[in-house]
C-alpha cells in the first residue's frame, strides 16, 4: 500500500545543496509508488518547485502564517506558498511549539488559513519526555488534536495528515517501541472518532516521525494504522532519503 514519505529539511541547506540534492534524489525515487514530499526552507521553494516539475514529488513548506496578509514583517502567508506551487505545509512542529511558543490556538488559525487556500496540512503532535514519563501523553495528544482541529468540518479532514512525533525521539536516535506507537495511533483515532465520526477516524492519515532512518523506516511504516513517515535528519542525505522513499 502507498505510504506518505515526507522529508523536513528544517533550517539546513544552501541553494547549491538543493540543486545537487534534487539532481541526485529525483532519479532515485522515480519508480517509487509512495507519495513523496520534500520540505525545504522558504527561500528555496520556488527553485525546488522548478526542479520537481518533471517528477511526482510534492513540495512542502515548514510553516505558514496564521494571518492572510498585511503588516506582519517576516511572515509568509498561505497564499504566497500556494502561488509558488507549494502543495503541503507542516503546522505545529514541536520545534515551532517549543522554540517559537506556538500554542494550539495559533496552530488552529494556521490550519484554517492553509486549508482555505487548498493546501494540505501535516499537523504535528507528540509529547515531551517528561509528559511520557508522567503518563500525561494521552491528554497532551488529545488536546493538540481537539484544539488544533477546532471548528473544522469533517469534510476538511481529507486534507489533514496527523504526524505523531514523540519529542523525545526527534533527532535523538531514541525510538519508541512498536506498542507505544500502536497505542498512540489508537489515541489519535479515538479522539477523531469522538470529535467527528467513526468513518473520519477510519480514514485518518497518521504518520510516524522521530529518528527514522533507512534501517528502521520499514518497521515503522509497517505498523498498523501508520500511513507513512515524517523524516528530519535522514532526509538531508538524498541517498538515504531515497532508500526510505523506496520502502
Ligand atoms: C522531525 O523533526 O520532524 C524529525 C522527525 O526529525 P528526526 O527525523 O531528525 O528525528
Is 37:88 a contact under the CB 8 Å cutoff?
Answer: yes
Distance 211 CA to ligand 1 centre (A): 6
Atom of ligand 1 nearest to the CA of 93: 3
pLDDT digit string, tens, across residues 52-61: 999 999 999 9
Distance 237 CA to ligand 1 centre (A): 13
Atom of ligand 1 nearest to the CA of 170: 10
Residue nearest to atom 7 of ligand 1 (CA): 232
Task: Collapse the DSSP code of 99 into the 3-class scheme (helix H, G, I; strand E, B; otherwise coil) and give the result.
Answer: helix
pLDDT of residue 231: 98
pLDDT digit string, tens, across residues 81-132: 999 999 999 999 999 999 999 999 999 999 999 999 999 999 999 999 999 9
pLDDT digit string, tens, across residues 168-225: 999 999 999 999 999 999 999 999 999 999 999 999 999 999 999 999 999 999 999 9
Could you identify the residue written with the cell 541547506?
Answer: 13
Residue nearest to atom 4 of ligand 1 (CA): 232
Question: What is the model's pTM?
Answer: 0.97
pLDDT higher than 90, residue 1? no
pLDDT digit string, tens, across residues 135-171: 999 999 999 999 999 999 999 999 999 999 999 999 9
d(CA 91, CA 34) in angstroms, rounded, equals 22
Atom of ligand 1 nearest to the CA of 209: 5
Amino acid at each position: 500500500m502507498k505510504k506518505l514519505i515526507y522529508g523536513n529539511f528544517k533550517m539546513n541547506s544552501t541553494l547549491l545543496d538543493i540543486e545537487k540534492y534534487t539532481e541526485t534524489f529525483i532519479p532515485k525515487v522515480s519508480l517509487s509508488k509512495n507519495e513523496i514530499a520534500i520540505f525545504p526552507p522558504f527561500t528555496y521553494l520556488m527553485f525546488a518547485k522548478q526542479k520537481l516539475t518533471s517528477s511526482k514529488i510534492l513540495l512542502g513548506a515548514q510553516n505558514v502564517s496564521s494571518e492572510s496578509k498585511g503588516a506582519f514583517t517576516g511572515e509568509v502567508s498561505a497564499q504566497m506558498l500556494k502561488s509558488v506551487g507549494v502543495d503541503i505545509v507542516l503546522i505545529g512542529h514541536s520545534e515551532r511549539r517549543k522554540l517559537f511558543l506556538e500554542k494550539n490556538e495559533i496552530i488552529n488559525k494556521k490550519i484554517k488559513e492553509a486549508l482555505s487556500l487548498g493546501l494540505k496540512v501535516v499537523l504535528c503532535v507528540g509529547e515531551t519526555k517528561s509528559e511520557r514519563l508522567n503518563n500525561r501523553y494521552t491528554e497532551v495528544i488529545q488536546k493538540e488534536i481537539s484544539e488544533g482541529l477546532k471548528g473544522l468540518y469533517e469534510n476538511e479532514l481529507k486534507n489533514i495528515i496527523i504526524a505523531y512525533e514523540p519529542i523525545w525521539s526527534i533527532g535523538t536516535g531514541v525510538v519508541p517501541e512498536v506498542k507505544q506507537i500502536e497505542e498512540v495511533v489508537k489515541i489519535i483515532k479515538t479522539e477523531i472518532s469522538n470529535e467527528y465520526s467513526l468513518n473520519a477516524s477510519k480514514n485518518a492519515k497518521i504518520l510516524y516521525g522521530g529518528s527514522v532512518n533507512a534501517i528502521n523506516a520499514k518497521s515503522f511504516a509497517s505498523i498498523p494504522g501508520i500511513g507513512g513517515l515524517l523524516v528530519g535528519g535522514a532526509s538531508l542525505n538524498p541517498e538515504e532519503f531515497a532508500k526510505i522513499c523506496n520502502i
